[in-house]
Amino acid sequence: MIGPKALSPVLLAILCLSGCAPSAKSPVLAACPTGAILSADAPRRGIPVEQTPAGKCLADHAEAGDIAAALRLGDFYLAVPGTLPLIDRKGHELHWFRLAADRGNATGAWQAAQLIDNDRDRQVPNDALAYIIVAIKGGIPEAGDYVVDQWQDGRIDPGKIWALRRWLDQPGILPADQRAAIIAGLNAPPDDLLYE
């Protein structure tokens, strides 16, 4: 059998373009019904909202790359009142926000970071810090305040924010006052931290 290394790059490209390589086609999904309402009735009975018609439609769209659908599902679990029997509410919420965050969405990243970083006596978890940085780069001011607070509380190792510091060195990436506040907070000497 002739392997890819034996073929010239031009011939290999022609073969792949002519259909020898499997194509990755994304599924075509029907639009969710206009005004589809996510009801808390099913989750109160122990049925995840993703198993309702509107929830399934949104979940399918979210899994296929629709960030707005992922955020809507995450927001649903964030806002639904009370406890939900037999449903890991935080797990569902985190799943949908992570899905949006992993696709570069700042809002999803900020929500996921807040859910992950829930033990203030330990270092900020690496995945939470990564999401916080995505949120900062996406322009969420609260994320900048949060990273400064956690830095000043000693919850972030210096090496973990080196890339963020380098990114902040670029003018024009954030509003000037927001950028300056983050830089000042990350550069504040320990004596000044006691009085903030």
pLDDT, position 83: 66
pLDDT, position 27: 61
pLDDT in tens, the chain (196 residues): 444 444 444 433 433 334 444 444 556 777 877 777 888 888 888 889 999 999 999 999 999 999 999 999 999 999 887 667 778 888 899 999 999 999 999 999 999 999 999 888 888 999 999 999 999 999 999 999 999 999 988 899 888 999 999 999 999 999 999 999 999 999 986 544 554 4
pLDDT, position 76: 93
Closest Cα to residue 134, out of 86, 196, 126? Answer: 126
Cα end-to-end span (Å), the chain: 70
CB neighbours of 52 closer than 8 A, spacing ≥ 6?
A: 38, 39, 42
Q: For the whole model, what pTM was predicted? A: 0.77
Domain extents for the chain? Answer: 45-103, 109-189
Compute the distance between CA of residue 150 and CA of residue 153 in angstroms, rounded to an integer. Answer: 5
Compute the distance between CA of residue 160 and CA of residue 184 in angstroms, rounded to an integer. Answer: 17
pLDDT, position 24: 46
